[in-house]
Amino acid sequence: MKVEQDERFREQRERFRLRWNCEDCALFDPSLSCAHGFPTHRHRRSRYDDPQADLLFCKDFELA
Ligand code: SF4
């Protein structure tokens, strides 16, 4: 599911220190990417350097 990113989300992301990227996931290994073999490019933190990028949440995310 794609969710449009807006200013309110960006403000709350910082205020509540929200985590949803691969770098914060227990299944992420920087050398192997995703332990479950999922493509990571749409969930990586760098994707959200673009304030227009739609939010995509991984259904297998596990907070590290
Ligand atoms: S399970 Fe999802 S969030 Fe976690 S490393 Fe794999 S692709 Fe990224």
Give the DSSP H or E segment for 29.
strand 28-29
pTM: 0.88
pLDDT at 3: 86
pLDDT at 30: 81
Ligand 1 lined by 36 (C-beta under 6 Å): yes
32 burial (CB, 10 Å; 0-12 / 13-18 / 19+) is: exposed
Cβ neighbours of 25 (radius 10 Å) = 21
Mean pLDDT by 10 residues, the chain (64 residues): 87 95 94 91 92 92 96
pLDDT at 51: 87
Atom of ligand 1 nearest to the CA of 62: 4
Ligand 1 lined by 61 (C-beta under 6 Å): yes
The domain segmentation of the chain, as residue ranges, is: 2-56
Cβ neighbours of 46 (radius 10 Å) = 11
